[in-house]
Amino acid sequence: MKIFIDTAELEEIKQAVSWGIVDGVTTNPSLIKKAVDRRKGKISMEDYIKEIVKVSPGPVSLEVIGRRADEMIKQGMLLHEKFSPFGEVAIKIPINPSVNGDENLDFDGLKAIRHLSSEGISVNTTLVMTPEQALLAAKAGATYVSPFAGRIDDYIRANMGMKIGKDFQKGDYLDHELLRSARNKVLSDAMASATSIREIYKSSLVHSAADRSHDNGIYSGVDLVTRILRIFRAYNFKTEVIAASIRNSRQVREMAELGVHIATVPFNVLKDMIKHYKTSEGMRRFMDDVVPQYRELFMEK
């Protein structure tokens, strides 16, 4: 599995690159805003992004801001032209750039993906929330699709009436196995009084119990990635899956178990991945047990 770092903070990128585990970088307008706000105009946006592209050992995803296909194509080409002389660049195109749903822009992302890909420009399809969207992006020739695992977990929790900051924190792992068992328990309770299959199938009690714990058959961000990979493998799509919107190290592990091509991981999650209480405790014990004779081995003569 390749690891991209999900940040626009140059210092974080440099540090993670120095650990020798980074294969690329992903940014988005929100991450860029955070990085720029911190710098208060001390460096131009163009120079700052050039720096990121120069230090990254692999593709840096940069997002367009247009929403019509022609705008996105123009902007994608411009970003590619400006920054690819300094390193590898992938252009982030939203799978569906519609904001209101009534703008007739639903398919402009696909058009832009098709066009840019046919020009040989790598496209990273962003804001992918369903396997159906991933399938369409792959059909349009995208180099990457980025399913937003954490945001789907948030959405499922919100549908269950859970509030971020109160019932769960941003970095909390969503236990989809526990969720599945809880759902089965609620379902079997709701079914207990039914006398026919038809009654169960039509029961609003059964449906409300079942519907709230998933998003149209997707039970978590990890489940979303599982299903996208299943489709891509069934048809040998070349499009690579970037597990995005990662919130904790266990999600990274589960993505790796699935054999996802890439996970894009925020700096704080990368830092968590190296830690374990027993590792630190083991280190303390080993250090305490170093005898002088053993220490002498390392002394320069």
User: Contact positions toward ligand E4P, by CB under 6 A?
Assistant: 6, 26, 28, 126, 146, 148, 150-151, 244-245, 264
Minimum separation from the CB atom of position 150 to ligand E4P (A): 5
The phi and psi torsions of 91 (rounded to 5 degrees) equal -100, 125
Q: Which is nearer to ligand E4P, 206 or 269 (CB)?
A: 269
Q: Which is nearer to ligand E4P, 206 or 241 (CB)?
A: 241
Q: Is 178 exposed, middle or buried (0-12, 13-18, 19+ CB in 10 A)?
A: exposed
Minimum separation from the CB atom of position 244 to ligand E4P (A): 4
The residue of the chain with the least Cβ separation from ligand E4P equals 245
Q: Helices 149-159 and 221-235 sit at what angle, rounded to 10 degrees?
A: 130
> 290 by DSSP, 3-state: which?
coil
Minimum separation from the CB atom of position 127 to ligand E4P (A): 8
Q: Which is nearer to ligand E4P, 268 or 280 (CB)?
A: 268
H helices of the chain, where? 10-18, 29-39, 45-55, 69-83, 108-118, 131-139, 149-159, 176-192, 197-202, 204-211, 221-235, 249-258, 267-273, 277-288, 292-296
92 is catalytic: yes
SS (HEC) of 43-89: CCHHHHHHHHHHHCCCCEEEECCCCCHHHHHHHHHHHHHHHHHHCCE
Minimum separation from the CB atom of position 119 to ligand E4P (A): 22
Minimum separation from the CB atom of position 249 to ligand E4P (A): 14
Contacts of 148 by beta carbon, 8 Å cutoff, 6+ apart: 127, 128, 129, 221, 244, 245
Q: Which is nearer to ligand E4P, 28 or 117 (CB)?
A: 28
- Of 14, 40, 92, 278, the active-site residue reads 92
Q: Which is nearer to ligand E4P, 59 or 190 (CB)?
A: 59
Sign of CA dihedral 72, 59, 123, 243: negative
Report the catalytic residues: 92
